[in-house]
C-alpha cells in the first residue's frame, strides 16, 4: 500500500498528515509558524521536521516509504523562492515525487468539488489563487495585502476600522459605535487615549480584534456595516482578477472561501457574492469546512500518477 504526505505550512501553524491511497488517514503532526519570510529557512526546516516526524511515527512508516507529497507553503510566491525550499526538503530526506504550491492552493483542492476553481483566503491576511481543470494554468494575486492594494484580511479590516474611528474623532466622518466598542475592547479611558494608544503601540488593535467590527455591524452600526461590505467587495475583486487571468468568466466554477473571517457574518459573504456574480454569474461559493492539509495530501497522490476519486476525498475528510 503506497503512502502519501500532505503538509500545510502557515503563518501561525503547520499541519502534516499521512494517508494511504484510499484516503485513510494514518498519522498527523503539527508545529508552529513556518513562513520562511518570517522564520527563515532554518525555521521552515524545524517545523517541517517536527510535524512530519510526528505524522510518520503515528503512521508507523519511514519518510522513504512515501510515494508522493504535496506541500502548501505560506510565502511561496515567486520562482526564486523554490531553490532554498528544495534544499530544505533535501535536508528533511524527502525523496519521493512532490509538488510545492502556495498555501492558498490546498484549500481549493479539497474544497472545490472537482479540485479546481478559485480559492480566496481571508484570515489574518488575504490571498487568492486559482487553477484550471487540468492544473496547467494558475491565476494569482501577489499575496502581499495592503502593500500591493490587495484587501482585505483581518489586518486590513482593522486598519480601516481605526481610520473610521479616527475620522469620527477628528470630525472628518460621522460617529460610529466602533469607537466605544474598541475603547472597551482594549480598556482605553476614552477616544483620545484610544487613538494615542493605537498610534504609539500602547494598544494592539490588529487582526485579532476583527470580531469587534462584525459584532458592531451586526448590531446595526452603518459605518461598521460599510467596513464589512468593503472587505467583501475587495475580496471579490481579487476573485475577479484571478478569474480574468484564467478566462473563467463564462464557466461554472467553485470559489472556495478559506479562513476565519468568513465566520464573521453574512454581510461579508453577501458583498463578495454580489461582486463576483456580476462578473462571473455561474460561479458557486463554497465555504471550506475541511482542513486544507487534506488538499495537500490529494496533491501528493497526483505526484504518484493517481487521480483522487470522490471516494478518496470523502474518506480523507471522514478519517481526518
Reading across the β-sheet that carries 98-102, which strands appear in turn? 25-31, 14-20, 3-9, 66-73, 98-102
pLDDT at residue 70, as a whole number: 98
The pLDDT confidence band at residue 152, using thresholds 50, 70 and 90, is: confident
Q: What radius of gyration, in Å, describes the C-alpha atoms of the chain? A: 21
pLDDT at residue 265, as a whole number: 73
Tell me which of 178-182, 199-203, 267-271, 308-312 is least confident: 308-312
User: What is the mean predicted confidence (pLDDT) over 11-30?
Assistant: 95
The pLDDT confidence band at residue 11, using thresholds 50, 70 and 90, is: confident
pLDDT tens track for 201-230: 999 999 999 999 999 999 999 999 999 999
Q: Is the confidence at residue 112, as pLDDT, over 90? A: yes
The mean pLDDT value of the chain amounts to 95
The residues, any chain, with a CB within 8 Å of residue 72's CB and separated by 6 or more, are 6, 7, 8, 9, 101, 102, 103, 104, 105, 106, 292, 293, 295, 296, 299
User: What is the mean predicted confidence (pLDDT) over 119-129?
Assistant: 93
Of the two residues 10 and 71, the one the predictor is more confident about is: 71
Please state whether the peptide bond connecting residue 303 to the residue before it is cis, i.e. omega within 30 degrees of 0: no
Task: Return the C-alpha cell found at 135.
Answer: 492544473
Task: Return the C-alpha cell found at 136.
Answer: 496547467
What CA–CA distance (Å, rounded) separates 134 from 312?
19
Q: Of the candidates 43, 110, 132, which has an alpha carbon nearest to the alpha carbon of residue 290?
A: 110
Amino acid at each position: 500500500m503506497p503512502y502519501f504526505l500532505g503538509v500545510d505550512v502557515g503563518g501561525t501553524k503547520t499541519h502534516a498528515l499521512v494517508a494511504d491511497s484510499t484516503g485513510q488517514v494514518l498519522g498527523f503532526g503539527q508545529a508552529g509558524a513556518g513562513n520562511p519570510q518570517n522564520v527563515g529557512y532554518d525555521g521552515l526546516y524545524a517545523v517541517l521536521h517536527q510535524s512530519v516526524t510526528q505524522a510518520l511515527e503515528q503512521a508507523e512508516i519511514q519518510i522513504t516509504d512515501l510515494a508522493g507529497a504535496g506541500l502548501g507553503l505560506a510565502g511561496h510566491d515567486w520562482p526564486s523562492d523554490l531553490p532554498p525550499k528544495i534544499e530544505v526538503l533535501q535536508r528533511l530526506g524527502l525523496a519521493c515525487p512532490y509538488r510545492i504550491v502556495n498555501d492558498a492552493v490546498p484549500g481549493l483542492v479539497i474544497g472545490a468539488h472537482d479540485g479546481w476553481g478559485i480559492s480566496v483566503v481571508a484570515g489574518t491576511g488575504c490571498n487568492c489563487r486559482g487553477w484550471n481543470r487540468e492544473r496547467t494554468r494558475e491565476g494569482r494575486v501577489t499575496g502581499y495585502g495592503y502593500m500591493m492594494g490587495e484587501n482585505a484580511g483581518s489586518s486590513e479590516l482593522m486598519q480601516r476600522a481605526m481610520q473610521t474611528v479616527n475620522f469620527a474623532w477628528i470630525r472628518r466622518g460621522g460617529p460610529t459605535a466602533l469607537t466605544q466598542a474598541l475603547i472597551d475592547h482594549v480598556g482605553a479611558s476614552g477616544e483620545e487615549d484610544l487613538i494615542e494608544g493605537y498610534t504609539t503601540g500602547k494598544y494592539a488593535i490588529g487582526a485579532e480584534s476583527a470580531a469587534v467590527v462584525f459584532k458592531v455591524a451586526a448590531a446595526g452600526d452603518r459605518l461598521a456595516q460599510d467596513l464589512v461590505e468593503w472587505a467583501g467587495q475587495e475580496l471579490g475583486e481579487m476573485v475577479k482578477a484571478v478569474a480574468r487571468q484564467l478566462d473563467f468568466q463564462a464557466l461554472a466554477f467553485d470559489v472556495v472561501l478559506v479562513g476565519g473571517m468568513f465566520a464573521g457574518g453574512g454581510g461579508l459573504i453577501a458583498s463578495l457574492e454580489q461582486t463576483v456574480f456580476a462578473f462571473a454569474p455561474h460561479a458557486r461559493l463554497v465555504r471550506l469546512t475541511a482542513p486544507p492539509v487534506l488538499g495537500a495530501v490529494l496533491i501528493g497522490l497526483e505526484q504518484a500518477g493517481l487521480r483522487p476519486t470522490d471516494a478518496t476525498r470523502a474518506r480523507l475528510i471522514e478519517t481526518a
